[in-house]
Amino acid sequence: MKIQKSKEIEKELNNATKRPDELTEMRNSITTNLQALQAGFIDGKTSLDELQADQGKLIILNESIKALESKQDELHSAFQKASLSESRSVILKQMKVIADEAETAFNEYVALRHKFGETISKEGEKMFDMLLSFRSKQREFQRAFRGLAPGVDVSRFVPAEARESFNQTRSELEQIGFSDQNFNLITKDYLRLPPIDFAEYVHIIEQAISSKRFKEEQAARKTAKV
């Protein structure tokens, strides 16, 4: 069965539509890098060749994007002409198929989005509970340390008058296998976490869960007072 001309053009148009987006992303990346190179060139840290190389890439990308946009316009015009020459019923059937496929894609997106949200919520709550447990253990350790070395706050500067008891307690801990790494982890407020993908979004999730827990606790206290 011969493929309709409009179908051929539509496929080519779809391909031509995706490519400018890819090139635009590349251009944005190079533009950002070029700004850094220009600053480096002014400071004498970047060579002229490096700067010109990225400038050349940017020129090529700009010209390519313009050429693709022009091709899109041509294909769009050709598609309209081909569509008008074909049977209206065929076009309507195509539109129905497209709408059905769009609905399927949307429904799958919604389902995956819901599943993803549930996963984030579940794992985020577990993660936050572990952090709270860790902080609780830190406070418990600090109370125990103060019991053995009065006047010492292990998370802060140790005063001179408490230094002897602090050193004695540290030494006794070392004798039972308590390393500096153990001590730093259990006493430091700031945690040096290993790098992960999307760390900034994980931090946002932690903040959101913390805010939700705080509001829930406030609501519970208000209810208890009534």
> For the chain, how many structural domains are there in total?
2
Q: Nearest-5° angle of CA 101, CA 102, CA 103?
A: 90
Question: Do 77 and 135 have their domain in common?
Answer: no
CB atoms within 10 A of CB 150: 9
> How sure is the predictor about 16, in pLDDT bands with cuts at 50, 70 and 90?
low
Question: Do 137 and 195 have their domain in common?
Answer: yes
Question: Which has the minimum average pLDDT: 64-68, 139-143, 187-191, 212-216?
Answer: 64-68
Angle formed by the axes of helices 180-187 and 88-148, to 10°? 110
Would you say residue 32 has pLDDT above 90? no
**Pick the residue with more confidence: 155 or 200?**
200
Residue 102 falls inside a structural domain: no
Residue 40 falls inside a structural domain: yes
Question: Do 15 and 60 have their domain in common?
Answer: yes
Question: Do 124 and 197 have their domain in common?
Answer: yes
Residue 198 falls inside a structural domain: yes
> How sure is the predictor about 2, in pLDDT bands with cuts at 50, 70 and 90?
very low
Question: Do 127 and 37 have their domain in common?
Answer: no
Residue 96 falls inside a structural domain: no
Q: How is the chain split among helix, strand and coil, in percent rounded to 5?
A: 85, 0, 15
**Pick the residue with more confidence: 3 or 36?**
36
Predicted local distance difference test score (pLDDT) of residue 129: 93
Residue 124 falls inside a structural domain: yes
The domain of 159 spans 117-225
Question: Do 74 and 153 have their domain in common?
Answer: no
> How sure is the predictor about 130, in pLDDT bands with cuts at 50, 70 and 90?
very high
Question: Do 80 and 121 have their domain in common?
Answer: no
Predicted local distance difference test score (pLDDT) of residue 51: 63
**Pick the residue with more confidence: 60 or 146?**
146
The first and second tokens of residue 128, run together, are 């936050």
Nearest to 158 by CA among 134, 138, 142: 142
